[in-house]
Amino acid sequence: MAACDSGGHTEEGNDGDEEQVGDIDAAQELAGKRGLPYQTYIKGLLHQALERERKAG
């Protein structure tokens, strides 16, 4: 079972964990600069990426 820190991030000891936490921290920072909740910001990024992939074929 994953431990959860006060920021809501899980830590399981995988090599990619630090990178994932860094990505979440970056998303939170960028969302804050735009006045958005970070989940909304991530949803927008995901939507943009999916649209690009759909158009690329």
Spatial distance between the Cα atoms of 28 and 12, rounded to a whole number of angstroms = 21
Q: What's residue 12's pLDDT?
A: 53
The residue extents of the domains of the chain are 17-56
Q: What is the pLDDT along the chain (57 residues), one digit of tens a residue?
A: 344 444 555 555 566 788 888 999 999 999 999 999 999 999 999 999 999 999 998
Element counts in the chain: helices (H) and strands (E): 2, 2
Q: What's residue 26's pLDDT?
A: 95
Q: What's residue 13's pLDDT?
A: 56
| pTM of the predicted protein model | 0.63
